[in-house]
Amino acid sequence: MPLLPALTLYRKKWLVSYGMLLAGLLIDVDHLLADPIYDPGRCSIGFHPLHTAIPIVVYNLLMLFPKTRLIGMGLIIHVVLDAIDCQVTGGIWYTAG
Ligand SMILES: [Zn+2]
């Protein structure tokens, strides 16, 4: 009997990780548009098209709906991690303008 909750939990966890992975991959497509693709000194927030204010508002809206919540959550985690990276490496939260 304990197998059933374990399986349900595992399935849920798998879905969460997969949803977030997928969302993270989706958002980083815009990194490929940049030149150079990866620059450790650059802050991606406010620089890449999918890392700006309007898309971030959309990611928050995705969190409101159960079907898109995981994607929204994954995208927001991605943006937050990118912002923390900017803070740690450059002392800024976003690239202005
Ligand atoms: Zn990013």
- Condensed to tens digits (0 to 9), the pLDDT of residues 29-83 reads 887 777 777 777 789 899 988 999 999 999 999 999 988 888 898 899 889 999 9
Question: What's the CA-to-centroid distance between 1 and ligand 1, angstroms?
Answer: 42
pLDDT digits (tens, 9 = 90+) for 1-39: 567 777 777 777 777 777 777 777 778 888 777 777 777
Exposed, middle or buried: residue 71 (CB in 10 Å: 0-12, 13-18, 19+)? buried
Question: What's the CA-to-centroid distance between 76 and ligand 1, angstroms?
Answer: 10
Q: Is residue 44 part of a domain?
A: yes
Q: Is residue 31 part of a domain?
A: yes
Question: What's the CA-to-centroid distance between 27 and ligand 1, angstroms?
Answer: 6
Question: What's the CA-to-centroid distance between 28 and ligand 1, angstroms?
Answer: 5
Give the count of domains, the chain: 1
Q: In whole angstroms, give the CA distance from residue 55 to residue 33.
A: 16
Q: Is residue 85 part of a domain?
A: yes
Tell me the residue length of the chain.
Answer: 97
Q: 93, 86 in Cβ contact below 8 A?
A: yes
Q: DSSP secondary-structure letter at 33? A: G
Task: Write out the E strands in the chain.
Answer: none
